Chains A and B, each alone.
Chain A
Amino acid sequence: MFKSFSTQILQHLIAQNTWACSMLQPFAGKSVRITIAPVHSTLMILEDGTLAMAGETNIPDASINIAPSLLPRLIAKDEAAKLQIEVTGDTHLATALAKVLSHLRWDYEDDLSKLVGDVPANKIGTFARSSVQSLKGAGINFASMLSEYWQEEKPMLAKKRHVDQFNHDVDHLRSDVERFEKRLQKLAKAREASTATSQAGDSGTIPNNQVTDSVK
């Protein structure tokens, strides 16, 4: 039942995005397994360029593995996160399917128009879009208000410029330490060399100020 229902949804979406058929048709008969641990499902490309869920014994031609930790970044459209998606098997097929899936859009106004008519569907769609936009704006405002409160009134969050300064100081300290280590190594080497020379030539010890000069 789940496969039947999911197939119906996929085919409905493909019917609304007709450009997808021509992209998928060259891969007809092939299947791709998509895993977002612990959930996975296998999609099959049909001969008419639509998609369906694969059967019980299908062997996929390609696999796409998405780590659950990547999901929030992918939702936020982080391009760097896309590079961390693991693709195995027929990569050409997997890339084409991933491209289609990421560009599929549900034309809910079209579906709604079949129930309530074109004009009401458009009005409802416009209202829904503006509501979502307002909610998004309100959310961003609320988040910046909280951030300001926790930075200025009741400091719990570090300010960006403080974090940048801290990072800069840490970098500076790291380079100082590295330089210091190099100097110590040079000093140690010079000491070893002078000890060896004094033992070989029996010419006494080299004064300390000569060693210091050589590593300056």
Chain B
Amino acid sequence: MTSEQNTHFGFKTVAETEKAKKVAEVFHSVANKYDLMNDVMSAGLHRSWKRFAVSISGVNPGDKVLDIAGGSGDLSKLFAQKVGPEGQVILTDINASMLGVGRDRMLDAGLNVPAMQCDAEKLPFPDQYFDCVIVAFGLRNMTHKDKALAEMQRVLKVGGRLLVLEFSKVWQPLSKAYDVYSFKLLPLMGKLLAKDADSYQYLAESIRMHPDQETLKQMMVDAGLSKVDYYNLAAGVVALHKGYKT
């Protein structure tokens, strides 16, 4: 096995072909308690981060929006309200368990949001179709982030926006406290609430392996996006990147 065929899964190195399977196992395992754990881990802040992402999107009524790795559908729900009945929101996720949770939630809310299981590295949509593409807390789990970003850029219309909401590099003075929280408290909470310490250990490790704000910005530029800018949220625990297709 050559080094090019390997990738990281948290702090472990695994074959590229295995990563998607392992990530899928993690999300199959946490799907039912996903929202509860998100609320506990972020003290409910993940909701305000998502609302902020929607407010920065500049989406108009009638626009087409693609929600990648949309999981439980929080963002699709917010976007569906924003684009109105003339617009279109498509919820996608590679993981069937997570997508099932999101699809059921859309139906319960009476929203007409199609849910599609697909790989972000091979999006089944034509070129220049969406006004806005968003991926929230999903990019770090993708095996080939560069390919996924290029695909997102491809399906955007000219003038369209790509938004990436993801964990990032925390403000340096807080890094020690954040490490204690991530590697001690997070797996413990996972064990107590979701009965799954390993998945939350992976979460903490995958956050550390994810590119920092400036690196991700450069990756978006390399994928063909322009005017890329980012917002640090909660002292950099999370960053929202926004780039335009020109």
Q: Which residue of A lies closest to B244 (CB)?
A: A29
> Contact between A4 and B52 (Cβ–Cβ < 8 Å)?
yes
> Contact between A11 and B55 (Cβ–Cβ < 8 Å)?
yes
Determine whether B96 belongs to the interface, using a CB cutoff of 8 Å to chain A.
no
A4 in contact with B48 given A56-B229, A57-B229 (CB within 8 Å): yes
Of the four ranges (under 10, 10 to 19, 20 to 34, 35 or more), the interface on chain B belongs to 20 to 34
Q: Which residue of B lies closest to A10 (CB)?
A: B55
Determine whether B232 belongs to the interface, using a CB cutoff of 8 Å to chain A.
yes
Kindly list chain A residues whose C-beta atoms are within 8 Å of the C-beta of B231: 3-4, 53, 55-56
Determine whether B24 belongs to the interface, using a CB cutoff of 8 Å to chain A.
no
Determine whether B60 belongs to the interface, using a CB cutoff of 8 Å to chain A.
yes
Determine whether B147 belongs to the interface, using a CB cutoff of 8 Å to chain A.
no
Kindly list chain B residues whose C-beta atoms are within 8 Å of the C-beta of A53: 231
Query: Shortest Cβ distance from B130 into chain A, in angstroms?
Result: 13
Q: Which among A43-51, A111-119, A124-132, A193-201 touches the partner chain?
A: A43-51
Query: Shortest Cβ distance from B234 into chain A, in angstroms?
Result: 7
Distance between Cα atoms of A52 and B60 in the complex (Å): 15
> Contact between B55 and A52 (Cβ–Cβ < 8 Å)?
yes
Kindly list chain B residues whose C-beta atoms are within 8 Å of the C-beta of A28: 58
List A residues 177-211 near B (Cβ within 8 Å).
none
> Contact between A54 and B60 (Cβ–Cβ < 8 Å)?
no
List B residues 117-165 near A (Cβ within 8 Å).
131, 159, 161
Distance between Cα atoms of A54 and B229 in the complex (Å): 8
Query: Shortest Cβ distance from B215 into chain A, in angstroms?
Result: 13
A57 in contact with B230 given A4-B52, A29-B244 (CB within 8 Å): yes
Distance between Cα atoms of A1 and B231 in the complex (Å): 10
Main secondary structure of the interface of A (DSSP, over half): loop
Q: Which residue of B lies closest to A45 (CB)?
A: B58
> Contact between A7 and B217 (Cβ–Cβ < 8 Å)?
no
Determine whether A58 belongs to the interface, using a CB cutoff of 8 Å to chain B.
yes
Determine whether A175 belongs to the interface, using a CB cutoff of 8 Å to chain B.
no
Kindly list chain B residues whose C-beta atoms are within 8 Å of the C-beta of A151: none
List A residues 43-86 near B (Cβ within 8 Å).
46-48, 50, 52-58
Kindly list chain A residues whose C-beta atoms are within 8 Å of the C-beta of B234: 1
State which of B52, B59, B230 has its C-beta within 8 Å of the C-beta of A7: B52
Determine whether A8 belongs to the interface, using a CB cutoff of 8 Å to chain B.
yes
Q: Which residue of A lies closest to B49 (CB)?
A: A4
Kindly list chain B residues whose C-beta atoms are within 8 Å of the C-beta of A50: 55, 58
Query: Shortest Cβ distance from A179 into chain B, in angstroms?
Result: 65
> Contact between A57 and B58 (Cβ–Cβ < 8 Å)?
no
Query: Shortest Cβ distance from A44 into chain B, in angstroms?
Result: 8
A8 in contact with B242 given A29-B227, A56-B231, A57-B230 (CB within 8 Å): no
Determine whether B20 belongs to the interface, using a CB cutoff of 8 Å to chain A.
no
Kindly list chain A residues whose C-beta atoms are within 8 Å of the C-beta of B209: none
Kindly list chain B residues whose C-beta atoms are within 8 Å of the C-beta of A3: 231
Determine whether B213 belongs to the interface, using a CB cutoff of 8 Å to chain A.
yes
Q: Which 7 A-B pairs have the closest CB atoms?
A: A47-B58, A46-B58, A55-B229, A4-B52, A55-B231, A48-B60, A48-B58
| A-B contacts besides A47-B58, A55-B240, 10 pairs, CB < 8 Å | A3-B231, A4-B233, A46-B56, A46-B57, A46-B58, A48-B58, A48-B60, A52-B55, A56-B229, A57-B228
B: residues with CB less than 8 A from A are 48, 52, 55-60, 131, 159, 161, 213, 217, 227-234, 240, 242, 244
Could you list some 9 contacts between A and B, CB below 8 A?
Answer: A3-B231, A4-B233, A8-B55, A29-B227, A29-B244, A47-B60, A47-B159, A48-B58, A56-B232
